[in-house]
Amino acid sequence: MVKYIIQRFLMMIVTILIIATLTFFLMHAIPGSPLDSDRTTNPAIQENLEKFYKLDQPLSSQYVSYLKSIITFDFGPSIKKPNETVNSLISRGFPISFELGMVTILVAVISGVILGTLAALRHNGVVDYLAMTFAVVGISLPNFILATLVIKVFAGELGWFPAATWQSPMHMVLPTLALATGPMAIIARLTRASMLEVLTQDYIKMAKAKGLKPWKIIIRYALRNAMMPVVTIMGTMLASILTGTFVIEKIFAIPGMGKYFVESINNRDYPVIMGTTVFYSTFLVVMLFLVDIVYGILDPRIKLHKKEGDAS
């Protein structure tokens, strides 16, 4: 297990390094790059840029000092807003985006697992049919379309929930709904498929033959094993929820990091785009690493890895 964690940790470092490097060189590859020293913007900004990117030095030492700043968690300045840095955007926007993301994951996982399990237990029944129809529709509806739909219906026509911003739990309902439906549908389908497979396993039959109570069989024997594939997609799920926050925050005018990121894309604030991308990537890669470790804890077979063996 320790060896596995170290291996995964090294992979994580390599991945972050690649993204940082890619970002750095792409930044320099932009025609008319903001880093070309005589691009006139505002002198204060120019000064910031030169200070951060060490523009007076050769490329190699620029690269080294850039990596150093990444390690010290400094993602650079903005070229559109003189007093802003990526760090200041992160400290303002990230908590809100994180809240949105976490609520979404909780909703998606809990309801997806419940839905998928019910569908599997009522295989080919009405519940199964309804749940899976819902799931296919949910997967087919891109979140930005769903977002506009729910605004139109629940905020516009019905007026049940506020249509924008992020202030109270009521404000959280529509964005979460729009963002969570897709992941929930995917989790529901995956849970159902893996639950159906697990339910045909001999160990389930054996648990029944032991005379255990049905709910105990489902929770202790079936669900835990059925959750394995769900845990493995949590990484991709996180990534898609994270990118989903870009559009959701844009549509609902939520002052999170995603909104700033989209703004920076739209007004081509390159340093912010780059800095934010590196931050987002680092966040995702670290989460992926954590998911892998959780998987290792949940599935005892991972620990094995050649060693240990058996007695007979």
Residues in 168-227 at the binding interface with another protein, rule: CB under 8 A: 201-203, 205-214, 216, 220-221, 224-225
Using CB under 8 A as the binding rule, the residues of this chain from 244 to 263 that contact another protein are 246-247, 250-251, 262
Cβ 34 to another protein shortest distance, Å: 12
Does position 277 interact with another protein (CB under 8 A)? The reply is yes
User: Rounded to whole angstroms, how far apart are CA atoms 296 and 141?
Assistant: 33
Give whichever of 50 and 263 is closer to another protein, judged by the CB atom: 263
Count other C-beta atoms under 10 Å from residue 257's C-beta.
Answer: 29
φ, ψ (nearest 5 deg) of residue 85: -125, 170
User: Rounded to whole angstroms, how far apart are CA atoms 52 and 78?
Assistant: 11
The three-state secondary structure class of 56 is coil
Give whichever of 83 and 303 is closer to another protein, judged by the CB atom: 303
Give whichever of 30 and 106 is closer to another protein, judged by the CB atom: 30
Tokens for 102?
């976490």
Give whichever of 64 and 149 is closer to another protein, judged by the CB atom: 149
Give whichever of 7 and 83 is closer to another protein, judged by the CB atom: 7
Residue located via tokens 């060189």: 25
- Cα angle vertex 73, ends 237, 238, to 5°? 5
Build a one-symbol-per-residue string for 42-71: x at contacts with another protein by CB under 8 A, - elsewhere.
------------------------------
Choose one: 44-52, 53-61, 75-83, 155-163; the region binding another protein (CB under 8 A): 155-163
Cβ 145 to another protein shortest distance, Å: 4
User: Rounded to whole angstroms, how far apart are CA atoms 66 and 77?
Assistant: 12
Choose one: 55-63, 79-87, 112-120, 151-159; the region binding another protein (CB under 8 A): 151-159
Using CB under 8 A as the binding rule, the residues of this chain from 110 to 139 that contact another protein are 136-137, 139
User: Rounded to whole angstroms, how far apart are CA atoms 249 and 241?
Assistant: 12
Q: Is there a contact between 154 and 189 (Cβ–Cβ < 8 Å)?
A: no
Using CB under 8 A as the binding rule, the residues of this chain from 85 to 114 that contact another protein are none
Cβ 167 to another protein shortest distance, Å: 19
The three-state secondary structure class of 85 is strand
Cβ 137 to another protein shortest distance, Å: 7
Give whichever of 44 and 304 is closer to another protein, judged by the CB atom: 304
Return the exposure string of 2-35: e unless at least 16 CB atoms fall within 10 Å of the residue's CB, then b.
Answer: eeeeeeeeeebeebbeebbeebbeebeeeeeebb
Using CB under 8 A as the binding rule, the residues of this chain from 7 to 46 that contact another protein are 11-12, 14-15, 18-19, 22-23, 26-27, 29-30
Instruction: Please report the DSSP string for 269-289 in residue order.
Output: -HHHHHHHHHHHHHHHHHHHH
Choose one: 39-47, 98-106, 170-178, 300-308; the region binding another protein (CB under 8 A): 300-308
Residue located via tokens 């505002």: 42
Cβ 106 to another protein shortest distance, Å: 21
User: Rounded to whole angstroms, how far apart are CA atoms 73 and 77?
Assistant: 13
- Report which residue type is found at 246: F
Give whichever of 45 and 284 is closer to another protein, judged by the CB atom: 284
Does position 142 interact with another protein (CB under 8 A)? The reply is yes
